[in-house]
């Protein structure tokens, strides 16, 4: 069995697409997945299954969620091994973290077509893109009166498309801890 994490886009955020975690776990179990665990209520699901392509798993999960919850929910799937590799690469090494600093990983469902090349700093210096790969974008946001998380998400959506989902680096750490 291989272990994966499904990152669901836009559920239980700001009152949008409310889904109870018990119902979400049942939907994943109905797909035949084992060891189904949710981490936080923002759409992070750990599960195990026979080794499969991440995109194929994402498509199966999206179809099941549409059937179960009657709404479109974008899904990005990553192997736990891949997430551990990402963490080991220390994508935020050297970043000075203050109470206004937010570290994010955006998971891409398709190769980026955007024009922004990393490293990139926004003209107003509120956010930086440290790394862009075929599967993730690592960004740093400095909260200010000029920009917040919603502003960064709008830029990422415009640049990398709507088939993305973003998680705070602290959330990734919690997921990896839960994965063991």
pLDDT digits (tens, 9 = 90+) for 93-132: 999 999 999 999 999 988 777 677 889 898 888 899 999 9
Contact 48, 34 (CB under 8 A): yes
> Shortest CA distance to 122 belongs to which of 151, 93, 90?
151
- As for how many domains the chain has, the answer is 2
Residue 20 lies in a domain: yes
Q: Assess whether 77 and 6 both reside in one domain.
A: yes
- Last residue of one domain, picked from the residues 58, 83, 108: 83
Q: Which 3 state secondary structure label does DSSP give 59?
A: helix
Q: What is the mean pLDDT of residues 1-22?
A: 86
Q: Assess whether 77 and 133 both reside in one domain.
A: no
Q: Assess whether 63 and 19 both reside in one domain.
A: yes
H or E, element range at 131: strand 127-132
Contact 11, 18 (CB under 8 A): yes
Q: Assess whether 46 and 97 both reside in one domain.
A: no
pTM of the model: 0.92
Q: Which domain holds residue 140?
A: 90-169
Q: Which residue has the tokens 């909260």?
A: 143
How many C-beta neighbours within 10 Å does residue 2 have? Answer: 13
pLDDT digits (tens, 9 = 90+) for 139-158: 999 988 877 788 888 888 88
- Whether residue 52 is predicted with pLDDT greater than 80 in this model: the reply is yes
Residue 164 lies in a domain: yes
Q: Which residue has the tokens 């498309």?
A: 161
pLDDT of residue 14: 66
pLDDT of residue 154: 87
Q: Assess whether 54 and 94 both reside in one domain.
A: no
Residue 175 lies in a domain: no
Residue 174 lies in a domain: no
d(CA 25, CA 110): 26
Q: End-to-end CA distance of the chain, in Å?
A: 15
Q: Assess whether 8 and 65 both reside in one domain.
A: yes
Q: Assess whether 64 and 117 both reside in one domain.
A: no
pLDDT of residue 100: 92
CATH of the domain at 61: 3.30.70.1280
d(CA 109, CA 107): 7
Q: Assess whether 13 and 37 both reside in one domain.
A: yes
């Amino acid at each position: 069995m291989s272990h994966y994490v499904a990152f669901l886009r836009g559920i239980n955020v700001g009152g949008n697409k409310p889904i109870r975690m018990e119902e979400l776990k049942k939907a994943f179990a109905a797909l035949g997945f084992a060891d189904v665990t949710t981490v936080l209520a923002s759409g992070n699901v750990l599960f195990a299954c026979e080794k499969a392509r991440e995109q194929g798993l994402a498509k199966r999960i999206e179809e099941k969620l549409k059937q179960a919850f009657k709404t479109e929910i974008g899904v990005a799937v990553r192997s736990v091994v891949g997430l551990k590799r990402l963490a080991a690469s220390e994508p935020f090494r050297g970043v000075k973290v203050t109470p206004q600093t937010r570290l994010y990983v955006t998971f891409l469902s398709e190769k980026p077509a955007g024009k922004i090349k990393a490293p990139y700093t926004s003209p107003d210096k509120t956010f930086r893109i440290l790394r862009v790969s075929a599967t993730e974008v690592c960004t740093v946001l400095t909260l200010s009166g000029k920009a917040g998380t919603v502003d960064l998400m709008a830029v990422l959506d415009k640049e990398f498309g709507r088939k993305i989902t973003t998680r705070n680096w602290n959330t990734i750490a919690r997921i990896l801890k839960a994965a063991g």
